[in-house]
Amino acid sequence: MSRPVNVRSALPFGLSARRCALNLLGSAILAFGLYHIHSFAGVTEGGILGATLLLQHWFHISPAWSSLVMNAISYLVGWRVLGRDFILYSIAAGGGFSLVYALCEQFPPLWPDIAAHPLAAALAGALFVGVGIGLCVRAGGAPGGDDALAMALSHLTGWNIRWPYLGMDMVILLLSLSYIPLERMGWSLLTVVLSGQLIGLFQKNPSYS
């Protein structure tokens, strides 16, 4: 009688296929939302996501590349706190984000007039970011370096992950005032707060199997 295949051991480094799939799915949802909503709505995000949009606006650097560099630096910083498995899952999520974002750039935006509807953009943007990152957090990974840093701070302090996110997000939002009008920054703040709450909900029930 043939023995059942252990899916976890079938992958390199003993990684879980389920957790890899969740990280890739989450990063794809995140990249889709960032391209089709945030990039055209005049609504930004905090952390590295917001930093990539800031660099895209001022220096015309694609988030597909800027996120890869900033994420790599952040993952190296958090390696000792977060552990090997976390970093490996996060590399899968970060790579998946860059790949899907680069693919999205080959097509026109689905909602080119989204900037005319800031409330809808803020709510939809928060949903894509919260669910996308939340799935990765639930599976023990992170698509962005700021996600890795937030999880590291949460691990060290015992705080819910939403609070480290909020602190880092506020810094990027302040810098984003250099190109986003103050009257529109309120919508960005709404997106940041809602997405952080969604991520916190996913963190309450992690799935590490």
With a cut of 80, say whether residue 191 has pLDDT above it. Answer: yes
More confident residue, 123 or 160: 123
pTM assigned to the model: 0.77
- In a domain, residue 171? The reply is yes
**Which residue, 193, 205, 199, 185, is CA-closest to 144?**
199
Residue 98 included in any domain: yes
pLDDT band for position 12 (50/70/90)? confident
The mean per-residue pLDDT over the stretch 13-39 comes to: 90
Q: Is residue 113 part of a domain?
A: yes
> Of 5-19, 105-119, 142-156, 192-206, which range is least confident?
5-19
- Examine residue 5 and state whether it is found in any structural domain, yes or no: no
| pLDDT of 163 higher than 90 | no
Rounded CA-CA distance 37/125 in Å is 6
For the packed helices 63-82 and 47-59, what is the interaxial angle rounded to 10 degrees? Answer: 150
Q: In this structure, is residue 4 part of a structural domain?
A: no
Which domain range does residue 87 map to?
A: 26-204
The contacts of residue 174 (CB under 8 Å, 6+ apart) are none
Instruction: Count the Cβ atoms, other than its own, within 10 Å of residue 157.
Output: 10
Residue 2 in domain? no
Give how many domains the chain has, as a whole number: 1
Would you state the pLDDT for residue 205? 56
Structure tokens at 150: 């937030």
